Each structure stands twice: as C-alpha cells, then as structure tokens.
A and B are shown apart, each in its own frame.
Chain A
Amino acid sequence: EVQLVQSAAEVQKPGESLKISCKGSGYSFGNYWIGWVRQMPGKGLEWMGIIYPGDSDTRYNPSFKGQVAISADKSISTAYLQWPSLKASDTAIYYCARRAISSEWFDFWGQGTLVTVSS
C-alpha cells in the first residue's frame, strides 16, 4: 500500500528555521517525483515545487523559489521542505504528494503538516 507520512505539526517563531518531512512507503521512492502543496488557512491549493528523489532534480514555483528549499534522501525514502527563516505568512498546511509515473498529476497525498508561525 502506497503511503506518504508527514511529520507532526509545528509551532515556530518568526525568523526561526524549520524542516518538515514526508516519508514514502509501499513503492520505489526514488522513481517517483514528490511535490509540495501549500494551503493557507481557509484558502485553496498552491503548487510549490517538485523533486525527483532518484537524482534530486528539483523544479520550483517562482513564487516560492528562494523562500523554501526542497530536498530528498532516497536512502531513507524521505522528502523535505525547509525554511531558512519563517514569516507569519508561512502559516499554512503543507502537503506532500506523489506524482503519478510519467505524468503530472498527484495520485497519492500525505496527511499534511500544519505549520504555525507566531511570536
């Protein structure tokens, strides 16, 4: 069974750094792109970027490039989303999702990680 399990909710202060994770199981992790999607409180979905764990090839939404970093460690089947310096506006739920093979849609999703940034 394909599963993506994300790390627990986080409460951080502005200016702090943060790294959240997404662990895949039930499939060959290195052979499928993993994407990240942001959902701000009460809002819609925003595609942030995507990484191929096999070789760490990464594509970013220009709106998020420089604000976050996407990485992956295929040896432990885990993808990451990292912020060097959080802002209050980063408060959101962040989902990881697996991109279907040879396509662009997301066929499996993690449960989401709520990140709250507040002083």
Chain B
Amino acid sequence: DIQLTQSPSFLSASVGDRVTITCRASQGISSHLAWYQQKPGKAPNLLMYAASTLQSGVPSRFSGSGSGTEFTLTISSLQPEDFGTYYCQQLTSYPLTFGGGTKVEIK
C-alpha cells in the first residue's frame, strides 16, 4: 500500500496567517492526490484534486502544489471557518489511502 505522511499533525494559527500542510507519499504518485477538509461531526468535503485543481465552490485562498512524492496544501489567509482536520488521499493505486490528518486550530 502507498503510505501518506502528513505534517504537522496539529497546527494553531491566527486569522490572516498563511498556513501550509505537507503530504509525503511513500512512492511516486504523479499528481494523483486529493485534499479534503473535515469539520467536527461532519463528513469530509473535497477541496482539491489532481494536486492543484480547486473543487468548485472552494475559496481561492486554498491552493495545492506538488507532484511525485511531496505535496502541499496552502491557505493563503486563514479564516475562522477554516478550522478542522485536513486529509490528503492518493489516487494512484488501490487501496486509495489517506494521510493521517492535520488538525487546524484557530488561535
């Protein structure tokens, strides 16, 4: 199975901060990566696919980059509604594994 390692596992930042989350794959996955946001008690919500394509309706302060084994999700200016846990998912080979998650707290 392809392993995905996210870092950090937790971050606390202020409104307006630039926030970056990293996802590293155990083997190359080209740009076959998605990002999801999950708020407490809710289902995950797709933010990004193909590593850098924003899902319809997702604010443009979210951006993604990377290919191969290293990927980043960036929030250019953190907003109060951006709290939650963020997960990456590789889309290259079954089983389609998720990263362990990054919990984002608003200071």
Using a CB–CB cutoff of 8 Å, the interface residues on chain A facing chain B are: 37, 44-47, 59, 61-63, 95, 97, 100, 103-107, 109-112
Contacts and interface: CB of A to CB of B under 8 A. Distances in A.
Interface stretch (B12-20, B41-49, B63-71, B73-81): B41-49
B46 A104 contact: no
Closest 8 CB pairs of A and B: A61-B95, A104-B91, A109-B43, A105-B34, A45-B98, A105-B49, A47-B96, A44-B101
B71 to A, nearest CB: 14
Contacts of B32: 104
Interface residues of B, number: 22
Given A61-B94, A104-B91, A105-B89, A95 B99 contact: no
Contacts of B46: 105-107
B91 A103 contact: yes
B97 interface: yes
Contacts of B44: 37, 45, 95, 97, 106, 109
A63 to B, nearest CB: 7
